[in-house]
Structure 1
């Protein structure tokens, strides 16, 4: 029986969700697909190619909405879709960090993000830096959120209280962080 790239991608995501990135090897993937590891190389060049394909798949649910109206609303929506996509797959942040953003949908998303940042008023000279800050914030927040979610909400609340602070839900914290970034971009032209 032949396998497809789609089967490889979906099986890889299942392995990620079950066992994490450290257990996603070509050998493990081949075993799950019930093929020999060498057969995988007919479909993907190497582990880096696999990570690039996975990153593209992780980002697939992120859509590009019309942003001709309210740029702030579009930036919040874009960042929320990005966060949600990252939270659906275990170790998604690490997959994106270890992959190269050169696949079609990821490039389209980067270009859309840059257009939104420009529409927010960031100069062309600072647009790439602002987009990197925006991207890094979403990645870091989603990574922390996933870790704390695995830890447990009550344990997280207890740890925050132990530090003398009150826990705010993740949505509220995320929106606050995006607001701070946008205010900063607007303040520093």
Structure 2
């Protein structure tokens, strides 16, 4: 079993390297197998499909959103957004796995936990269900604009303040306390 876990982790790490270097469109099972010097069919021993592999990649991306256990909901949202933007096409990978209900559903669980410190659990769950699409959608838009700016197609735009403001508006609408996000990241 440990060998299987190690094999899965090695595959996910290689998939992330390909994602960062070439983007989601070029993250194919064939390219991944070549990177690992194995046959493509060997990958299916660890992952039943490419979608299941992408869910594991998405979980790894989201897991990198390090926040304290007692973090404010706005800080959790910012950390999630930063984790998505840290990888080329990271927002698209996580968005697609969330749309297919694959993976560990960490974005919703992390936001619901942060909201539950101020709201009843059912309201926290509902609030997380509202915040997750906002985080994913905003990060996806920001990532596309960043990539377009890198190609010289549009002027670079810092959307960090707009994102933070949007999160705070949603939190205020939920009746959750709104503390200005303390995270100093920019993206």
Q: TM-score range by the shorter chain?
A: 0.7 to 0.9
Q: Contact 1:64–1:112 (CA<8 Å) still a contact in 2?
A: no
| Distance in 2 of aligned mates of 1:64 and 1:151 | 30
5+ long unaligned stretches in structure 2: 177-187
Q: Give the structure with higher Rg (CA).
A: 1
Report the counterpart of residue 127 of structure 1 in structure 2.
Answer: 124
User: Per-residue deviation at 1:18?
Assistant: 2.2
- Superposed CA offset, 1:144-172 (max 9, x none): 111111222886459xxxxxxxx7x3221
- RMSD over aligned Cα atoms: 2.7
Per-residue deviation at 1:180? 0.8
- Where does 1:95-106 land on structure 2 (aligned, <5 Å)? 95-99=93-97, 100-103=101-104, 106=105
How far did residue 110 of structure 1 move?
3.4
More helix by share: 1
Q: How many matched pairs?
A: 168
User: Contact 1:82/1:138 (CA < 8 Å) preserved in 2?
Assistant: yes
TM-score where L is the length of structure 2: 0.76
> What's the secondary structure of 2:88's corresponding residue?
coil
Q: How does 1:35-184 map to 2 (within 5 A)?
A: 35-67=38-70, 74-99=72-97, 100-103=101-104, 106-107=105-106, 110-121=108-119, 123-152=120-149, 156-157=154-155, 169-184=158-173
1:25 paired to 2:28? yes
Query: Within 1, Cα distance between the matches of 2:121 and 2:7?
Result: 42
Q: What TM-score does the superposition give when structure 1 sets the normalisation length?
A: 0.76
Aligned-residue offset at 1:12: 0.7
Q: Deviations over 1:36-75 (max 9, x none)?
A: 11111222222122012101111121235232xxxxx611
Contact preservation (8 Å) 2:138, 2:163: yes
